[in-house]
Structures are given as structure tokens and as C-alpha cells.
Amino acid sequence: MSKYEKRYDEILTNIENVRVRVNQHQIIKIIAVSKSVDAKAIEDMYNIGQRAFGENRVQDLKSKVLELEKLPIEWHFIGRLQTNKINALIDLNPSLMHSCSSLDMAKEIDKRLGVKGKTMNLLLQINSAHEEQKAGVNPELAIDIYDEILATCKNINLKGVMSIGAHSEEEKLIKESFELTHSIYNNLENRGAKYCSMGMSGDYELAVECGANMLRIGSVLFH
């Protein structure tokens, strides 16, 4: 038995317990955040059934994509994207980019995609607790910005929203930030939004309770 198997099963069970209580029809996708582990660990996790992995630095994503080329892994980009790394990210063909944090960034990505004749699936990141240290759009502006991207960025396939829960010990504040993100997601479902990406190691059960259908889980899975 792989060293990750027991932990993986526990997490799946935890998620399933909340899911069946909250919404029997919801399908929840787990992104294994592999930013702090090497390619061997990703392969071990792949071998017990995990297919989607997330990285937060373009350079790391690139080296892991190359090292694991032989496996049909679905790669997600979840980190801050510097303008000078946009082309490199596009070239890696990520399955989904979670962290588009402004209209300007969307326009820049769209422009580079146009040059390369490519498209990209993308989530709009929402700064749901109005935290200075966090990236993402102001929740009050999120719907307008989403609409603007839909209208102007033809090479981008907008797929929904992403958020990091409030940085707090207080569950109530984290919950509020998830609920706010989920309400924005709900408003965008009629514009084709499919994913509400929120919930990490410390708060994934709460995120499912608040309607997340995509979780980004790193440390509890790998350590």
C-alpha cells in the first residue's frame, strides 16, 4: 500500500460525508496541490487514482510536466502569474488556470493566446475577504469583470471562480468568504460558470458545505 493511500481515503471519506449531507447531486473534483513535493510523489499519488494536480509556479509546473510526460495528468495552475511568465504558461497547455486576478491580466493572457492561436480555460479569482495580501478581484466587482472578460477575451474560456478562504482562526469569517464566493458563482452559472474552486487542507470540508465543487488540497494529502 502506497504511503499516501490511507490519507487519500480518509480525505475522500471526509469530503463524501459532507457532500451527501449538503448536495447529493454535486460532483466534487479534487486538485492535488503538488507544489511542495517532487515528481516521484506525484507519480505515487497518480498510482492510487489521482489525476488532477496543481502547481503555483510556472517554472515548477514546467519541470514537472516534462518529468511526468508519460502520464496523462491533468495540470492546473493555481498561483500568482507574472506577466513575463504568461507565454510559458500558455505553452504548457494547462487544463485550467485558477488564478486570473484582474481584468488586465485576462486581457494580457487573451492577447498572448491570440498570437499563439490558442485558448485557455480560466477561473476568475475573487478576493472574497478583501485582504490586502491576497490577489483577486473585489467581490463587488466580480460579476461585472466576469462579463467584461466574456465579452472581450475571445481566446479565454471562462469556467467559473476561485477563492482562498479568509485568513482567520475564526470559522465564521472563513465561512462568510466561501459563501460570498459561492453566491457570485451562482449568479454566473447562467453565463456558463462550471467550477467554484475553493477549500484547502484546513478548510475543505467547510468549503464543500458552502458549495465548492473543486478543492485544492496540498499538505494534508502529501504529508
Ligand X SMILES: *Cc1c(COP(=O)(O)O)cnc(C)c1O
Point out which span in 43-51, 65-73, 183-191, 196-204 binds ligand X (CB under 6 A): 196-204
Q: Which of 161, 139, 140 is nearest to 150 (CA)?
A: 161
* Number of CB atoms found within 10 A of residue 23's CB: 14
Q: For residues 32 and 42, what is the distance between their CA atoms, to the nearest angstrom? A: 9
SS3 109: helix
SS3 80: coil
**Is 82 among the residues that bind ligand X (CB under 6 A)?**
no
**Is 201 among the residues that bind ligand X (CB under 6 A)?**
yes
DSSP string, 113-142: HHHHT--EEEEEEE-TT--TTS-SB-GGGH
Point out which span in 110-118, 138-146, 175-183, 210-218 binds ligand X (CB under 6 A): 210-218
H or E element, residue 6? helix 5-22
CB of 218 to ligand X, least distance (A): 3
Point out which span in 1-9, 44-52, 109-117, 194-202 binds ligand X (CB under 6 A): 194-202
CB of 35 to ligand X, least distance (A): 6
**Is 200 among the residues that bind ligand X (CB under 6 A)?**
yes
* Number of CB atoms found within 10 A of residue 156's CB: 21
Q: Name residues contacting ligand X, limited to 24-43 (CB under 6 A).
A: 33, 35
Nearer to ligand X, 114 or 202 (CB): 202
Q: For residues 219 and 222, what is the distance between their CA atoms, to the nearest angstrom? A: 5
**Is 217 among the residues that bind ligand X (CB under 6 A)?**
yes
Task: Summarize as ranges the residues that interact with ligand X (CB under 6 A).
Answer: 33, 35, 56, 78-79, 164, 200-202, 216-219
